[in-house]
Structures are given as structure tokens and as C-alpha cells.
Amino acid sequence: MKRLITLTVNGTPYEVAVEPRQSLLQLLREELHLTGTKEGCSEGECGACTVLLDGITVDSCLVFALEAQGREVVTIEGLAQGDQLHPVQKAFAEYGAVQCGFCTPGMIFAAKALLESNPHPTEAEIRQGISGNLCRCTGYVKIVEAIQAAARG
């Protein structure tokens, strides 16, 4: 039943055998051992599994692995350039926008997507922009501050 697919993850090409029922999230975590992407609700509500699929944010728990055939995926492991953290990552670290850290990878992708489409968001726009990502520690204030700081550059 398994089918061989090829895809690029964080710039590296992979060839993996997957079952139709496997999600992209399972492929990343269980086959490629890229465990930076987290499994939260597995229902597309919490955003913990957010990755970039061909450059746009998606909940990887709701994507079949087979749908990633020939596509390009970026996970949190692939966001920094060598030792250089992405500006949003840097801001999250500086502003302590991390408590348990479980939502952070998804939150960073949501923030990055928001700032790319709206480089100077208001606080309300930031809250709207991360509304697909839940922080169970409820540390939203610092997350919003970090995104505001990343926007200031």
C-alpha cells in the first residue's frame, strides 16, 4: 500500500515511502525525524503543526503526505540561515515569547506569514493574524510584543 514520493524539506530532497493515511505531519516527525513541528489538536484548530508548503502556511496535520509529492516544505528546523536566526525567531527569544515552547514553531510561521503580507500590523491585526495558533500557556502578550518588535526591525 505504501507509495514512494519525492519532496524537498528545508532544501534537502527526500524520497520516502508513505501510506495514504499518513499526514504530512507524521511524515515530517516519524519518517524524517524533524520533531520541531508539533502535533497539538490534529484537527486544524491549534496551529502547532504549521509549516510552509510551497511557501504558504498550512496545518500539516490536515495534509496527506502524498499531497506533498514534488512540493517544497519548510519546517522550523529550516528557518534559520546557519547560525543566523530568522528575525521573528530572534524577536521571540529576545522578548521571552516562549513559555513551554510547544506552540512556538507554529506561532513563528504564523507571525512570519503575517509580517510578509502586512509589514506594519496593528495590535488587532497581529491578534487576528495569529488567531489560527493557540498558546496553552496563554502567553499571548509577549508573543504580540515580539511580533511588534520584529515588525520594527
**Minimum Å distance from CB 75 to another protein?**
14
**Which is closer to another protein, CB of 45 or CB of 94?**
45
Q: Give 66: exposed, middle or buried? Use CB within 10 Å, 0-12, 13-18, 19+.
A: middle
Whether 88 and 111 have beta carbons less than 8 Å apart is answered as yes
Pick the closer one to another protein by CB: 2 or 94: 2
Binding part of the chain for another protein, among 9-17, 83-91, 129-137, 142-150 by CB under 8 A, reads: 129-137
Which value, in Å, is the radius of gyration of the alpha carbons in the chain?
A: 15
- List of residues 6+ apart from 131 with CB closer than 8 A: none
Residue 69 interacting with another protein (CB under 8 A): yes
Q: Does 57 bind another protein (CB under 8 A)?
A: yes
Return d(Cα 103, Cα 22) in angstroms, integer. Answer: 22
| Candidate ranges 27-35, 75-83, 125-133, 137-145; the one touching another protein (CB under 8 A) | 125-133
Contact set for another protein, span 95-124 (CB under 8 A)? 110, 113-114
